Structure 1
């Protein structure tokens, strides 16, 4: 088992999931609203998409679930999609804005 706390491992994994329309990971884009540890081996992830009609929404959600579930010590992952509040560019990290030249 890793010495890195599970929440940090989850955040690290989420940084490997990219939005295909904007070449930045979903964590830095601000698409992940909440990571909620439930039981010792269960996590709920509340997230959004850059647009409600995102054509690859299912793929992004599945990738999040599969990658988080692959972390040792996590057995159950529930990804909850929400559009409240709607995503805006203001939710992006400074790192993401800098990477995209939006600063």
Structure 2
């Protein structure tokens, strides 16, 4: 993988860490809601994400915010955003940072 792709992926992760679930004071990346970030050639990015539940109150706005912010990253020209519930999100997907933030460690 070229340095350009690595820089783009790092920038995408940084921007994902600025998006917060309104009910939990932790960013969506550390919550484990982002299952995959794949930087492809020619500025195409694939993001696979989930929500804490299918009935999440931000089920429409959160994916849209992810789409818009990833698209705003320098070098990104196209975003293929896939929302999935397989596997379903569980607390086991929280990063160590999230566990500390929530006082679960």
Measure the CA separation in 1 of the matches of 2:62 and 2:76: 19
Measure the CA separation in 1 of the matches of 2:14 and 2:38: 15
Number of residue pairs matched?
101
Which residue, 15, 18, 23 being the options, matches 2:17?
15
**Gaps spanning 5+ residues in structure 1: where?**
none
In the TM superposition, 1:1-103 aligns within 5 A as: 5-103=7-105
TM-score (normalised: structure 2): 0.91
Measure the CA separation in 2 of the matches of 1:62 and 1:78: 12
**Gaps spanning 5+ residues in structure 2: where?**
none
Greater helix share, structure number: 2
Deviation track 1:20-49 (CA, whole Å, cap 9, x = no partner) reads 111110000000000112332111100000
Measure the CA separation in 2 of the matches of 1:40 and 1:75: 7
Q: Find the residue that maps to 1:57 and give its secondary structure.
A: coil
